Amino acid sequence: GQQVMQIPQYQHVQEGEDFTTYCNSSTTLSNIQWYKQRPGGHPVFLIQLVKSGEVKKQKRLTFQFGEAKKNSSLHITATQTTDVGTYFCAGPTSGTYKYIFGTGTRLKVLA
């Protein structure tokens, strides 16, 4: 079946350092979504990318969708302690209602 892998699984950074997580799907995604889950919380939607090669920014966060619509990345510039959490990518397999989530990247920011 379809798999969505994220790397790295864990990342510890010093506050102020940059952070990137990569998402790779075994099949084409009609769109890619990113979610953040704070410790003890539930996933919360951050952004959706639909077009091949699309790049979107939210303040210090930059999201990219690959040309083949099979990979994506999230880059955080100058991390802050509020960025702590697990970041998931997700998307419905083309032509289906199935939302498949990535394995997640857990970010810890050291003050």
Partner 1 sequence: DVKVTQSSRYLVKRTGEKVFLECVQDMDHENMFWYRQDPGLGLRLIYFSYDVKMKEKGDIPEGYSVSREKKERFSLILESASTNQTSMYLCASSLSGFEAVGTEAFFGQGTRLTVV
Q: Could you tell me which residues come within 8 angstroms of residue 42 by beta carbon, excluding any fewer than 6 positions away?
A: none
13/101 with CB nearer partner 1: 101
53's CB contacts (< 8 A; 6+ apart) are: 64, 65, 66, 67
Cα 94 from chain centroid (whole Å): 18
Q: How far is the CB of 81 from partner 1 (least distance, A)?
A: 22
Counting contacts by CB under 8 A, is residue 11 touching partner 1? no
Tokens matching residue 110: 């050291």
Nearer to partner 1, 19 or 87 (CB): 87
Contact by Cβ (8 Å): 15, 81: yes
- Compute the least distance from the CB of residue 90 to partner 1, in Å: 7
Q: Are 32 and 65 in contact (CB under 8 A)?
A: yes
Residue 27: strand, helix, or coil: coil
Instruction: Please list every residue from 74 through 103 that binds partner 1, using CB under 8 A.
Output: 88, 90, 92, 94-103
Site for partner 1 in 19-48 (CB under 8 A): 30-31, 33, 35, 41-45, 48
Q: Which residues bind partner 1 (CB under 8 A)?
A: 1, 4, 6, 9, 30-31, 33, 35, 41-45, 48, 50, 88, 90, 92, 94-104
